[in-house]
Structure 1
Amino acid sequence: MAIYHLSMQIISRSKGQSAVAAAAYRSGEKLHDERTDEQKFYSRHVQPETMILTPKNAPEWMKDRNRLWNEIEQVEKRKDSQLARELNIALPIELNHDQQKELIQSFAQNEFVQKGMIADIAIHRDDTNNPHAHIMLTMRDLDQNGFGKKNRDWNADFANAKENNRGYVKNSEGCLSIREQWANYANQALEQAQSKERITHLSHENRGLEVLPTIHLGHVAHDMEKKGKQSERGQINRERQKYNQAVIDLQAYRRQKEAHVKKMKEKEKQFSFSTDIEKTYIQKAASLLNQKVISLDDILKRQEELRKMSDRHVPIERHFHVQQQQFLNVSNYYDRVRDLNREIKQNEEKVEELKGSLNPFKL
């Protein structure tokens, strides 16, 4: 099924990062870092599919990955300079390779490149179940000399980033967040591919779901799990999946209880003594039981009267028999609701027990 994942980060020297090294790792290409005079290369089993998208006013050399990021390193003078912005995005597995490429190109071109940024895209397909794209974005305007000043206005597009917000503005009036925009692009592509799957940028909490979301494994944890080794991030997901299953069972019991309560109320309406004739018969039966002294003659006389009444009121007896059966049915519903309440209580206790065992720092 299609999953939603979009994370953002700033590639910065303050974190010991290099734009050239980052581009080499994501593209799978061998690049030379002129600032440190080091060769950057990270071997991959499956070569990423890469492309560089540039604005119309960009010189041709900016499509050269090695020169592009070395120019960025050269223009940034501070030891804590922010070098690039990066997006890590999960691609829908319901789309084929060409459709995935067209989707990520369209998203990057319309949302970033048309505004003046350069987008260096690398699609990773090392794991067929986890295709994803890295988009490295430049942070400076272009001028006749190459790169000009930092464009702070672009920060507004990334104001609602899920992760590290350093360097982003707090909000942007009338601007859809990048997270929401990606969901719109992906869902449109899924619809065009005639897939019924859809994704959403909303959190479980905002969607009213009680379950906990699993976390993105990342390549290190994913490789460990693939080799049969348990990773810390994988363990977090296993714990959350166990908790979620208990919550799902609890929700199922609640739905069953609601259905039984609804049926029970319908049954109650069916056998309520609301007609005048029913009330009259009940009053007559009560008066027969309230006599203080009863003789044998009274009993024989009453027996004959009841025999004659029974001949006239057989349909009424049938009616009371049906009412009795309905009483029994509703009683069974009450018993079922009591059982469901007991099961719900047991599952709630189980959920609380699991919640208490989850590491709050992992949550």
Structure 2
Amino acid sequence: MAMYHFNVTQVSRGKGQSSVASASYIAGEKIRDDYYGKTHDYTKKGGVLYSEILLPDYAPERLKDRETLWNEVEKTEKHPKAQLCYNFNFALQNELTYEENLEIAQRFIKENFLARGMIVDYAIHNPVRKDDIPNPHVHMLIPIRPLNKDGTWGEKQHRVYLFDENNKPVLDEKGKQKFNAVPTTDWGSPDTLREWRKAYADIFNEAFEKKGLTCRIDSRSYAEMGLDVIPTIHEGPHVRAMEAKGIKTDKGNHNRRVKMLNALLTKLAAKLSDIFSWVNEFLTECKREGIYAPGLCSLLNDYYDHRYNEAYSQKGKIQNIKERASVFLFLEQNKIGSYEELETFVRSTYDKVNSLEKEITKKKTRIREIKTANHYHDMYLKFLPVYQELQKKKLKPFKDKFSREHSSELDQFYMARRKLWDFWNGGNPDWNSLDKELTAAIKELDVMKMTYEDLETKADKAFKIKCITKSTLEKVNKRVPERTRSNKHTHDMER
């Protein structure tokens, strides 16, 4: 089955990431990282079918070497939280051969990235999966900083200074002239990303068409296609590996819950949409043909009177009475007295489903953020004594020796500290308030779940009313004389 997958993120030093480590991973090579003083070795990683570095014509030949290229990127970026490179990942298609996928991927990269003057380090992966379903895909790393025509590294952005209407500099509170930082390229623009996403779909759809295949992929998001679904989160190779071994992870559990909820929302939306369409078509047909349309109450009473008279047992008659009462109570509670009001009810219920979906997405995201922060807080506290012990070492030789011996613990401490700094935006953490927020958010999710169940119950009731009124109306119209059928129809429910 053809699959659309085109994703881009940024490799950032502020997230504890390294462009050298990323390059080592995608190429399955052993590369020395001069910035961190580490060697990254992914030579035992399987599934790397092909790798290559593509350079603009004016790029120096030395950048063809992967270790040289990415160490230069790391060296050029001075800021401790610098954004280093774009990390693209896009799917190849199982309907095409390896040779066809390779040719299309190379053409796509050259036409859309190399043609813009971008340096592209890419590799084709096809890892072995437990389900034996091929998963060929491409990883691309592209430096964010552009390369000048003279072979030197350029600027990511330039300053555009601000002036007022009298052409005088606009100053900040410190007396310095204000400015806007304007990117020197359009590589990070949302419009450019949309172009790439569309080009990716177009080039593979063209290949499908040439092979006489009917499958197609679509670059539009679910929202753009009119599909209101909650997005899953990217699991990554480590999480997928754990899940494949039967080890449940937070990300895996989250995605399973999202998929289950999406299935329920899709089912409910389809049912409500079906009711809405029927009501609309029914009223339009009545108006066009001048057919008598009895009120809801009349049709429902006809239906339940017939069922009562046809019941063979007292138990059946009692059940019929209970069901009739339930339906009329539902109409009364929801103030549904006519077909128009039923239509309004369906529309408002559908709107509530969409709104609920968005709220659930926000709530789940926030819960995940808080749980992640708690995880890093535990990590911080666990390795804080190691860091404190390091600070006690005054002489450099002893300090270096301790750092080497406890590099793993210190790396985890530094990462946890960075994550917590970003989470709290450099401010003072308030873990008690955060715990209270998490508890409240989980309870709110439970309420949302109950709200959803209530919406589903209402949809089922409305669907039942639709079926009853439709079948009963057909019988009524067969019995009504022609002159009565042509009378002006009414939609009001008899009180």
* Distance apart, 1:264 and its partner CA: 8.2
**SS in structure 1 at match of 2:104:** helix
CA-CA distance at 1:114 after TM superposition: 1.7
Q: Which amino acid aligns with 1:157?
A: W
Name the residue aligned to 1:140: 146
Whole-Å separation in 2 of the counterparts to 1:10 and 1:259 = 45
Partner residue of 2:363? 360
Query: What's 1:149 paired with?
Result: 154
| Secondary structure class of the residue paired with 2:228 | coil
CA displacement at 1:176 relative to structure 2? 5.1
**In 2, are the aligned partners of 1:28 and 1:48 still within 8 Å (CA)?**
no
- C-alpha distance in 2, partners of 1:15/1:210? 31
Quote how far apart the aligned CAs of 1:121 are: 0.3
The residue type paired with residue 229 of structure 1 is: I
Pick from 223, 247, 267 the counterpart of residue 249 of structure 1: 267
Alignment check: 8 A CA contact 2:48 2:123 kept: no
Alignment of 1:306-317 (within 5 A): none
Could you tell me how far 1:88 is from its partner in structure 2? 1.9
Cα deviation for residue 258 of structure 1 reads 5.6
Equivalent pair of 2:59/2:147 in contact (CA under 8 Å) = no
Matched ranges for 1:223-302 at <5 A: 223-254=241-272, 256-257=274-275, 261=279, 262=281, 266=285, 272=291
| Identity across the alignment (%) | 31
Query: 3-state DSSP class of the match of 2:51?
Result: strand
Of 222, 242, 247, 1:204 maps to 222
Secondary structure of 2:147's match?
strand
CA distance in 2, matches of 1:81, 1:132: 27
For 2:189, the aligned partner's letter is A
Task: Indicate yes or no: 2:135 matched with 1:130.
Answer: yes
Aligned to 2:461: none
Matched, 1:14 2:14: yes
2:188 maps to amino acid: F
- 1:271, distance to aligned residue in structure 2 (A): 8.6
Deviations 1:225-277 (A, max 9, x none): 2112222222222222222222332244345436755468758977959xxxx
Return closer, same or farther for 1:353/1:225 CA change in 2, 3 Å cut-off: farther
User: Are the aligned partners of 1:243 and 1:351 in contact in 2 as well (CA < 8 Å)?
Assistant: no
1:53 corresponds to:
54
Residue 63 (1) aligns with residue 68 (2): no
2: distance between equivalents of 1:77 and 1:265?
A: 68
Q: 1:215 to 1:130 in 2, by over 3 A?
A: farther
Structure 2 residue corresponding to 1:186, chosen from 196, 201, 204: 204
Query: Is there any run of 5+ residues in structure 1 with no aligned partner, and where?
Result: 161-170, 274-327
CA distance in 2, matches of 1:12, 1:48: 27
Moved more, 187-196 or 132-141: 187-196
- Aligned to 1:230, the other structure's residue is in SS state coil
Q: Hey, what's the Cα distance between the residues in 2 that align with 1:13 and 1:353? A: 37
Judged with a 3 Å threshold, the aligned counterparts in structure 2 of structure 1 residues 98 and 257 are, in CA distance, closer, same or farther, namely same
Corresponding residue pairs, total:
291
Describe the shift of the 1:230–1:191 C-alpha distance in structure 2 as closer, same or farther (beyond 3 A).
farther
Cα distance between partner residues in 2 of 1:349 and 1:211: 14
How many angstroms apart in 2 are the aligned matches of 1:154 and 1:184?
Answer: 28
**TM-score, with structure 1 as normaliser:** 0.65
Letter matched to residue 134 of structure 1: H
Partner letter of residue 363 of structure 2? P
Summarize the Cα distance change of 1:154–1:29 in structure 2 as closer, same or farther, 3 Å threshold.
farther
Distance 1:180 1:188 in 2: 12
SS of 2:238's equivalent in the other structure is: helix
Question: Does the C-alpha gap of structure 1 residues 248 and 353 become closer, same or farther in structure 2, counting only changes over 3 Å?
Answer: same
Structure 1 residue 120: Cα displacement = 0.3
For residues 78 and 349 of structure 1, the distance between their equivalents in structure 2, rounded to whole angstroms, comes to 47
Distance, in Å, in 2 between the alignment partners of 1:358 and 1:62 is 43
RMSD: 4.0
Unpaired runs of at least 5, structure 2:
158-182, 293-298, 304-323, 325-329, 332-341, 367-495
Per-residue deviation at 1:40?
1.3
Provide the secondary structure at the position in 2 that maps to 1:136.
Answer: strand
Q: What is the distance in 1 between the residues matched to 2:203 and 2:257?
A: 32
Note the C-alpha offset of 1:143: 4.5
Measured at CA, do residues 156 and 140 of structure 1 come closer, stay the same or move farther in structure 2, by a change above 3 Å? closer
Whole-Å separation in 2 of the counterparts to 1:84 and 1:115 = 15
> Who wins on radius of gyration, i.e. which is larger?
1
